[in-house]
Structure 1
């Protein structure tokens, strides 16, 4: 589709034309304004009616111009040829045919047609010069901004009264835009605004320059001015949406793109697909699906299945998501990207089946090394943790931390918990390779020491924020350190003691009643360990002190009551019976 919007052709192209009624002139002016505002359906209706009711060369040119601007060069060519045949002296349709040639990348034919039209009018026809310059700016790929500027400069010299100043300045701005000369382009657009202060197209195109330069805030300023100039000028909303999206204001972007659709009246499936994309980015997943539904049967683009797959995944319609993404991957394997595997893996993992979990992890693993926006190792780790596959969860939480510039506190927490819980399973996990006693001891120690390290890192991370603590990090450090070794060694070395003591200190200082209550069981375990440790050291008084602290929390703790109970008095000895004397026979 042609990319640049032009000013009304009415005043220029009607030089020498016969206008039978004021209504016809008004209809034409409205139709040309509709083309500028990309209201192509309305423009087509009006211009087709004019060309049918009055098939003059000029009216054929306007209809052909509509087809050219709306991206239908074959239809434009047929109409321009009809107009050229209607009046061989009128060069406008030949210029239109040059525009078609440029759209078809036939630069040689286009140059020949324009050069001949300018020569036939002796470089004096202002309309011919302006439209010739315009044709060299319409195509994204086959353009010639230098030649456009030469022709437009000639037209400017002819415009002695400045009647077409705003139109010529706008076209010059477009030529400089194509030359990537933003400074001169803005100057030309500003000149057009000086001639016509309410010209929405000028502010829109200045904003477009800032958008191309990635100055999104400045671009938005000019798009707002364009909307103030003319709230019905549709192209502004589309560009404004792009600027907002690049500023991550996706909801506002989607809203403005919808306004573009509404005001232009377009039914172009590719543009509707863009709205669906913005709806998705705005997390309006149902809205995205609604737009995708409008495209069914209208567009043969596998991207639709991708968008369905992503949106359904976010909506929790997991099987629909899987079906759509599998269709897309099968139809367009060369277009598959990291997000396709990500959303497919998420949908599979949410099926709640062993096969779904397996396939989900497989696809998330494909995506994880390439995803620069999310740490997918975290999702894999959580899936394993929720399935109580703690050894794999520990492995992937370690990858999560390694592949994240700023790991979350919970990454360290669950890495620690996964290692801690698998430590108890070592030697009993039927899915693992068999181990002998020595291997079990080594592996068990490894998992508990990894847990200790993770909890230590978590405590350190939390305490970077002034006044913040996480007492349980020290509790689990103590537990991990204790279980890393045989209990006799742990009790004799007391390696866990400082962590239990730190936990007790922090938990006891907690002012939140609910939190403090939640620590009660952990405190009891801590006191019991410290009591046992002191008993091993033969410090009965200290041990009794810790046992009493347990009873303060749980007066009915049977183990502690038994430990504190005085030894039962020894039962009195039963006197031994006197031996029965045997009588000596004969005495």
Structure 2
């Protein structure tokens, strides 16, 4: 939520009671709720509609010009409003505010008097005069503000909602509890007259959004029940759900809001994003494509097409969308963009380009994106480029934020690398020793040590060749001891047991301990009675 100055808070509350929503009235409501950009869009879009009260629309367009410092534009709009309906007093209030800004208080007072004379019983007009003083300088004109507030209260017997909204706006920065009380009174007195004041609901909700989001949302649910066709009510509730990470409800509410003709493209874009994160990929894609038909260079929607088509497995389509996305010069891309693109490139047979995309994502924030190093390692592993696979997995492990599984994976990468190197070469020995190093690190804390010892045994054989060294036998003994902790493992890891017992039998044969050798060979046949190599050896023994 953007912080607002006292000036902008005071500017945002002039309104007639919302009798019916839709058309230009949505622009009025957005203005009164401090949603100025949306207000201008709707007011300009609906200015020439047959149902538009042009005097009202010109007043709000002039007020928007005033807050943006466009005095000439404001004056033109207020005069146009008077020409459209000279009995609508608010445009005189606008001209009075201009006079105040120009330092001509006497002229301003004349304009304010002309405004009041259009309807001497309208306390809301008096509140508008008080707000005009506050918009220009709430300190310099404090007495005038208070005087008009008292006058409006007296005229309305303390029941004019716009006076309470103004007081809430003036109090909000200093005393949120007091401001909430004023907004609540505005709501109550508006509804006593049979109407609804959407700005009071929205401003009341905004006060509580950060401290009691359930209450804030509840007020907007109430407003939607009372004004079910109000664009302001619908959009504010959708945004509150979104702000408070209630994304499923946000998506549902945005879906309702999309049916309102006064919704905005930015809202459509957020809706597409919410549908995507809710894994409603076809629906999200449909919204994105609809936006692109009227805004073909929309960077955000090209991103959503890429994301959705990737999720749906349409990698060719995702590739096309990615190329359009990345063609935007000076655009700000995210690591997710490049990670997704890497996935697309992998599936479209462009692994080297995928690595480049991964690298770009990683370099955008190495500390946050270090997992990408492991992803690149996995990609090279699938490509059977063992040297690169080791390089990137080693870089990942060197970041320090790793698990036992990462050590296990790195040891496997070194094993695969070792197997590609000449037997007995220093490079092969080094690769195997590095693999053993990381297996040992994993073994320090692993609960299930059997597979780790099995991997270590394989690494020892990569390093030492066919030799049945004492270290290899000790490793197999440790593997068997670990597996034996669960009786089911004899069936689950039968091949590992067979390999170990065969190696152990051969080891003791080399030591000429025939009884020990026979013992281990017999264990092999208990697992696989028809295992011919061992049957032959046993017959000779």
Corresponding residue SS for 1:331: coil
On the 8 A contact 2:17/2:197 being kept in 1, the answer is: no
Contact 2:251 2:275 in 1 (8 A): yes
Structure 2 equivalent of residue 392 of structure 1: 388
Structure 1 CA distance, aligned partners of 2:308 and 2:105? 50
Q: Cα distance, 1:443 vs. partner? A: 1.7
Separation in structure 2 between the aligned mates of residue 238 and residue 176 of structure 1, nearest angstrom: 25
Aligned to 1:479: 458
8 Å CA contact 1:349–1:360 kept in 2: the answer is yes
Deviation readout 1:108-167 (Å, 9 max, x if unpaired): 9856699844454359945445335657999xxxx8776798765443211124455432
- 1:86-105 mapped onto 2 (5 Å cutoff): 92-96=90-94
Displacement after TM superposition at 1:384 (Å): 1.5
**Aligned residues between the structures:** 503
| 1:285 matched residue in structure 2 | 281
1:226 aligns with 2:214: no
- The CA deviation at 1:46 is 10
Q: Shift in Å at residue 519 of structure 1? A: 0.5
Partner residue, 1:545: 519
Measure, in 1, the Cα distance between the counterparts of 2:314 and 2:95. 52
- Partners of 1:320 and 1:408 lie apart in 2 by 36
Matches within 5 A, 1:102-121: 116-121=107-112
SS for the counterpart of 1:547 is: helix
Partner of 1:275: 271
Superposed, which structure 2 residues align to 1:71-470 within 5 Å?
80-85=78-83, 92-96=90-94, 116-121=107-112, 125=116, 126-132=123-129, 153-158=146-151, 159-160=153-154, 161-177=156-172, 179=173, 182-193=176-187, 195=189, 201-211=199-209, 213=210, 215=211, 218-231=212-225, 232=228, 233-262=230-259, 264-299=260-295, 300-351=297-348, 353=349, 356-370=350-364, 372=368, 375-403=371-399, 405=401, 407=402, 410-427=405-422, 441-460=425-444, 462-463=446-447, 469-470=448-449
Cα deviation, residue 383, structure 1: 1.4
Tell me, what secondary structure is at the counterpart of 1:335?
coil
Q: Does 1:525 align with 2:516?
A: no
1:579 aligns to what? Answer: none
Q: Distance in 2 between matches of 1:124 and 1:85?
A: 14
The answer for unaligned runs of 5 or more in structure 2 is: 1-7, 31-37, 117-122
Distance 2:198 2:77 in 1: 30
Output the TM-score relative to the length of structure 2.
0.77
Partner Cα distance (2:312, 2:104) in 1: 56
Aligned mates of 2:322, 2:77 — CA distance in 1: 44
Q: CA deviation at 1:32?
A: 4.5
Distance 1:301 1:333 in 2: 14
Separation in 1, partners of 2:143, 2:444:
69
Larger radius of gyration: 1
Quote how far apart the aligned CAs of 1:548 are: 0.8
Q: Hey, what does 2:34 align to over in structure 1?
A: none
Describe the SS at the equivalent of 2:262.
coil
* Offset, 1:260: 2.8
TM superposition shift of 1:418 = 1.9
Pairwise CA RMSD? 4.2
Deviation at 1:524, TM superposition (A): 0.7
Is residue 2:16 matched to residue 1:9? yes
